[in-house]
Amino acid sequence: MAKNFVSNKDESVRMFKADWIDMVSRVHFSIPLYLYVPVALICLYRSFFIFENSFLAILGLIVVGIAVWTFAEYLLHRFIFHYHPTTEWGKRMSFIMHGVHHDYPNDSKRLVMVPSISIPLCVLFYSMFYYTFGATNVDAFFVGYVIGYLFYDMTHYALHHANFKSKFWLMLKQNHMRHHYMEPDRGFGVSTTFWDLVFKSTFTGVADKKEVEVIH
């Protein structure tokens, strides 16, 4: 099996000379919950009590939001995080965004998105969806989108640090481990493998028993 990592231990590598910048490049896995559960609750409140959407309308928009997140997750992971630039500056940015995670896959402080990246993305996506769904529908949709994002972040952390027994979670973990340790340019889905199936980016061939064992 090819060694596609530098260290498999729960350790962090320094990425920035400035102490404060390096510090904010690390985050506890619970921080997204503290940041975005309130966002989802506020959006849900606005949907019910400000815009007075019906329960079924809100539920439908939430489901759509979750589905759209899974697609965004796939696109971001495949085309942004795994983009291979040729310039030195581009390579540096690629390493900061995602390359460090592949070099140190079990670094528990770099498994969920840091606020310095997630907050601007949150504002950007909300603004885009505002003009797509309109003022009365965007909040319910965004509840689902945030739920999808939080499920992704928490799942990503768990796939690297939790022990599972259920077939579903073992399948996701095995899929993600193959992405890390065998074929980093395939298997981009983390919270679901659906879009890999749609866009034919599932893993090539059939791995033998030793290759697909979960690595700790």
Question: Per residue in 26-57, pLDDT tens?
Answer: 999 999 999 999 999 999 999 999 999 999 99
* Contact partners, residue 133, CB within 8 Å, separation at least 6: 61, 141
What is the average pLDDT across 98-105? 93
- Residue keyed to tokens 């022990």: 163
What is the average pLDDT across 55-60? 98
Residue 207 lies in a domain: no
Residue 209 lies in a domain: no
Residue ranges making up the domain that contains 50: 29-165
Query: For the whole model, what pTM was predicted?
Result: 0.92
Q: What is the dihedral of CA 113, 36, 58, 48, to 10 degrees?
A: -160
Element (H, E) at 61: helix 55-75
Question: Per residue in 129-167, pLDDT tens?
Answer: 999 999 999 999 999 999 999 999 999 999 999 999 999
Residue 199 lies in a domain: no
The residue count for the chain: 216
pLDDT of residue 141: 98
Q: How far apart are CA 198 and CA 189, in angstroms?
A: 11
Residue 193 lies in a domain: no
Residue 181 lies in a domain: no
pLDDT of residue 96: 87
Token output for 51? 């815009």
- Residue 119 contacts residue 35 (beta carbons within 8 Å): yes
Residue 196 lies in a domain: no
Helices and strands (H and E) in the chain: how many: 9, 0
Q: How confident is the model at residue 207 (pLDDT cuts 50, 70, 90)?
A: low
Token output for 201? 């980016």
* Contact partners, residue 139, CB within 8 Å, separation at least 6: 43, 44, 46, 47, 50, 51
What total of structural domains would you count in the chain? Answer: 1
Residue 208 lies in a domain: no
pLDDT of residue 2: 54
Q: What is the mean pLDDT of the chain?
A: 92
pLDDT of residue 169: 96
Residue 8 lies in a domain: no
